[in-house]
Every structure is written in C-alpha cells, then in structure tokens.
Amino acid sequence: MQSLLATKSISDALSLSPHVTSALEIDTEAIAYNYNTLKKQLPQSICGAVLKADAYGFGIQAVAPVLAQQGCQHFFVAHIEEGIFLRNLLKTPTIYVLSGILPNTEEYFIEHSLTPILNDFNMVKNWAAESQKRDKKLPCGLHIDTGMRRNGFDQLDLEKLFKDLTLLKFLDVHFIMSHLVSSHAPHDSLNDQQKELFDQIRKKFPLTKASLADTGGIYLDPTFHYDLIRPGKGLFGLYTPPKDHPSLKSCLRFLGRILQVRTAYKGESVGYGASHTLTRDSKLATIGVGFADGYDLRLSNNAFIAFGQFKAPVLGRISMDYTVIDVTDIPESLCYVGGWAELVNQAITLDTLAHSLGTHSRALSTGFTSRVTRVYR
C-alpha cells in the first residue's frame, strides 16, 4: 500500500514543500459527499464501498476512515493482503475479499476477521471443512458468474453445489452476488439477461440476501438494487450519473512543478523521437512529471495542462521524469520556475484524459506511483 506521504490540508498548491515536484491533492470531503449522494439513491438497500487497488489509487489509508465516518460498514477489496491492511485501519466493519480463499490462507481470514467471497465449489468445501473443524459457522459470500466470465461459480460448479447444498449449513452465508457486465450502459440488454439469470439462481437460496449492483447499477431500475450495493468508481467521482440525478464530485487535482522555462524556435523539434516540430517561435516549460509518475505516455502530443483558466498543450513525447508544454500564450505571472501547473483538475478530469486515450479513468487513477506526494484535504 502507498503510504500517506502528506496530510497537511491545502487550499493552494503553493503550500506544498519546495522540494516536492509532483502531488495529488485528494479532496476527502468530495469522497464523503459522493458516498452520501449514492446512498440517497438507495432507500431500501445498504451502501457498501469497494476499495480495491489502494482505493482505486486514491489511498485506502486516508479514504477508508472517511467512509467509515459516513456510516459505511461493508467494505470490499480484491485480495487478502488488501484486506489485512484495511483491517489494521478499521476494527469493526465487515471486510469482504473478492478473490476468495487461496490454498492455505484460511488461517489469515480467521485471524484478521476477513470474510471471503467464495467463487467455486472447492472454496465452499474447504471453508465448510474449516467451519466444521472449528465447530463454528464461518462467514462468507457466494459469487455466481452470470456473464462476466471472470470470478464466480460457473455452470459446472453450480451443479456441484446444488447437489450438495447441505454444505452451506456449516457456513454463515451473508449474501449471494454477481457482477454486471454493462451497468454503465442502461439500455444494454445484457443487464436484464444477467438479472434474469441471477433471479433464477436465487430461487435455490430463498432466504439469502443478494448483491448485484455496482456504481452503474445504482442508476438502473431499483429492482437491480437488492440488499447490498457495491460502488467503487462513483465514490471518487469517476462516473457521470444520468441527467435527472445529482452529479458526483471529482476529488482529484494532479500538480506538477515547473522546472524550466526556455525559448525555442520555429522548425525545432521537441522530445524523444522528434515527434513534434514547432510551427512558431515558442516559449516551452518543462514540468517535473513523467510516465514514471503515472502521467500516461499516450498523452504525448495529446493533452493540455492548466494554468488557472489557461491551457497549454503537451508537446513531444512524455519522458520518464519530464513533460514539455507550450506556454507561449500563458501569462508569465502564472508560469514561472518553481510554480505549479495542473495536469488534472475539475476541467481536465481523469475521465476526459481517459476518453482521449480510449481507456477508462480507473486505469489512470491506479497508475499514479509512490513518487507522487499525496495531500489530503
């Protein structure tokens, strides 16, 4: 897990230490607002929180306590080491591990009070055997694959389970769950197909609670909500709700220090491979951020960096530690050595950058490296 490198509240990038060359300013108030906004869409359901991959790159050490303060009591992580880390932060909430039980990890789940999501019949057998050995019903969830083809019981494993449902009497099954393939596309027929299959399978577990919806599923028909919702990206404003619903807040600014300002001339090239040639005499600035910080290489010649209301284009290939931008039209009062530029803000969002690259915002948010100072406000 990435450590909390800075905790000083800032209202202006200039309050960062002079030796810092890149920073993520993460607004925890926005995260709390987003959680409560999502929760208000769910009058009959419990709202959990998915904090896998270090809370989508925003820092689980800072984010998890904020959500717990808002009343969240159901957290989801991908892997057991994430669960152990989160348990050391939060003592009381239920922590679910989506990857389930690897061989010889049962003791870790019990020691750290983690609840596995069981993804196949062998996991059920092993967890039931552990329960019998301890003469105690151990908690779990059951993940049924209804179309993702990733984790969860497939048809063959389901048939095995249906033939031996008595195994479940040894377990405390919190819910059965599945995961929507196309919840971001409300009119996709796959949503209804998955729900229909999920409901058919649920008939085998008539008294067991259910969980199907992620962030996108919140904005589908309320029949998709069931008992427990599992939002992830929406917590960080990485989702745009339908127009008739309250918007979510972006929680991120990505800042880069200006290291050098120089003059270059028409016809000269910029960066590795000479991928950009200047069409005018220009003033160029070098920012102390590169792909080693998580500023995606594919943004080369394909992005803008902000100085207040002004924007400067990225020129040439982004290198490991540096990015060059054209600041010819940026006022000198905003662009100077030691000053700051905004690579991500309320206008240049992760969604905006991701769309230009043909990827999604989570691929960018989880790519910020430990070299970038985190500042929480």
Q: Do 252-376 and 28-236 have the same topology in CATH?
A: no
The residues, any chain, with a CB within 8 Å of residue 105's CB and separated by 6 or more, are: 80
pLDDT recorded at residue 14: 55
Task: Count Cβ atoms within 10 A of the Cβ of residue 42 and give its class: 0-12 exposed, 13-18 middle, 19 or more buried.
Answer: middle
**DSSP designation for 183:** T
Among 157, 80, 173, which Cα is nearest to 122's? Answer: 157
pLDDT recorded at residue 5: 38
pLDDT recorded at residue 15: 76
DSSP for 82-105 reads HHHHHHHH-SSSEEEETT---TT-
| Residues acting as catalytic residues | 52, 272
Q: Which residue ranges make up each domain of the chain? A: 28-236, 252-376
Question: pLDDT per position in the chain (377 positions), as tens?
Answer: 333 333 333 345 557 889 999 999 999 999 999 999 999 999 999 999 999 999 999 999 999 999 999 999 999 999 999 999 999 999 999 999 999 999 999 999 999 999 999 999 999 999 999 999 999 999 999 999 999 999 999 999 999 999 999 999 999 999 999 999 999 999 999 999 999 999 999 999 999 999 999 999 999 999 999 999 999 999 999 999 999 999 999 999 999 999 999 999 999 999 999 999 999 999 999 999 999 999 999 999 999 999 999 999 999 999 999 999 999 999 999 999 999 999 999 999 999 999 999 999 999 999 999 999 999 98
* Contact present, 254 and 342 (Cβ < 8 Å): yes
Q: Looking at the chain, how many residues does it have? A: 377
- Whole-angstrom distance, CA of residue 327 vs CA of residue 308: 13
- Whole-angstrom distance, CA of residue 155 vs CA of residue 252: 42
| Centroid of chain to Cα 115 | 21
At the fourth CATH level, the homologous superfamily of domain 28-236 is Alanine racemase (3.20.20.10)
pLDDT recorded at residue 16: 85
Among 299, 331, 304, 334, which Cα is nearest to 318's? Answer: 299
CATH of domain 252-376: 2.40.37.10
- Whole-angstrom distance, CA of residue 252 vs CA of residue 258: 19
| Centroid of chain to Cα 89 | 18
